Amino acid sequence: MIKMYSGVWALLLGILLIMLGNGMHFTLIGLRGGIEGFSAAELAIVTSGYFLGFLSGARITPIMIRRVGHVRVFAALGSFMSAALIAFPLLTEPWAWTLLRILIGFCMSGIYVAAESWLNNAATNENRGKILSAYMIAQTLGIIGAQGILTLGDAATSVLFIGASILVSISFAPILLSATPVPAAEVARAMSMRKLFVSSPLGTIGIFLLGSIYATQSGMGAVFGSQIGMSAAQIALFIATLFAGALVLQYPIGWLSDRMDRRKLIFGAAAIGVFFCALGWITAGGFWFLMISAFFAGGMTTPLYALFLAYTNDTLAREDMAAASGGLVFTFGLGAIAGPLVTGWAMETLGPFAFWLVLGATFAAIALYALYRMTQRASTPTEETESYLGVLPTASPVAIEAAATWSAEMAESDRDDAAAAEVSSMQRDTDRPVA
């Protein structure tokens, strides 16, 4: 175990610190935006800006890495991101925040591509699954921990923004001081949305709708909390609970994923999301009911993302998985851009609790479409499906491609082991003496 993590501990520590800073800034946007008097629609545009930048970075960063190397890209993007975080309290205008969010989204996407290319290169076929899981856990813990740090300062001042900038700045020290040379990031050309849809209609539509849900939860959750009068500490707990649910529920849903029709599990997870969004809306601000709703609605989002990836890979040839990874990230990004815009308009028109209405309606659309697809295509036998691996919605095509390759290898290995066991059993029956 120690030997396995000795080559990647610096990256895991660096990612944890980066996510502390990035997680702080996501919630700070809602807190400080409310203090500045920004409307829900304005903050929705600011939120969507991040995912617009993220989508662009996933395409451009591999080119940058091939030209100058991943260490230099790390350093440059980290510097820009740190500067952007400090600039938020200096430029308190919606248009300026939107531009800064685009820049931060671009930087974070590039950081993920560079980090994940290094991580994938450092892993072996035997430990890739464990290392990727540790990487995803480090990200989630960073986001949750960031909410605790927010309670130590006042969003009305510059202190928390400066703190987020410091965390991002120091996060690169362990990475840059210990990084070893790796091959340039190679990201396959993304599969077209048309081809992706033909291969897996449920995977394509589902990942688009889930992008909307994830961006709304992570970007508009703090806006919702601010508009209904939550304290800063309560908002931080609300956001932390959204991600804590994902951390806790990832494993049991993943366990079920390898043992049943994934479309039924997608339907069930989305239906649970609908129920708890309805609970958040009906209880109209009861704090602990909101926490329960956040835990289960947020807890369905990340596992659903991994489910859609696994289900889509079940329908693809192995040589198409790399291109499909890029196509899925692009489709998810489009949904992430659209989701906050729709939610912001709804909250502006119907009030802050439209936050739950939009989330619930989107979960319902996923559930109904999964139900419809069950009538259009026969299920894939569980023994022929790829293995499930929890992948976060923030992952770049590099990590998704690595996870898909690992899943295919593990599934193939399991099938070979099962076939060998069956042959061995038949031989024992043949060799057994007749009484």
Return the structure tokens found at 298: 């947020």
pTM comes to 0.88
Mean pLDDT of all residues in 402-423:
62
Using CB atoms within 10 A of its CB, is residue 197 exposed (0-12), middle (13-18) or buried (19+)?
A: middle
From the list 65, 229, 240, 225, the residue with the least C-alpha distance to 148 is 240
Cα separation, 67 vs 63, in Å, equals 6
Residue of 174 and 334 predicted with greater confidence? 334
Is residue 130 pLDDT above 90, yes or no? Answer: no
Return the structure tokens found at 167: 């965390």
Return the structure tokens found at 77: 């993007």
- Contact 259/346 with Cβ under 8 angstroms? no
Is residue 434 pLDDT above 60, yes or no? Answer: no
Mean pLDDT of all residues in 118-130:
72
- List Cβ neighbours of 118 (8 Å cut-off, separation of 6 or more): 11, 70, 179, 182
Q: What is the pLDDT of residue 115?
A: 78
Domains in the chain, CATH or no CATH each: 2-424 (1.20.1250.20)
Helix runs in 151-228, H state only: 159-178, 193-199, 201-227
Is residue 399 pLDDT above 90, yes or no? Answer: no
Mean pLDDT of all residues in 13-40:
91
pLDDT in tens, 352-397: 999 999 999 999 999 999 999 988 877 766 665 666 666 778 777 7
pLDDT in tens, 418-429: 555 565 655 665
Residue given tokens 């593990």 in the structure block: 410
pLDDT in tens, 88-99: 999 999 999 999
Percent of all residues in the chain with a pLDDT value above 70, rounded to a whole number: 83
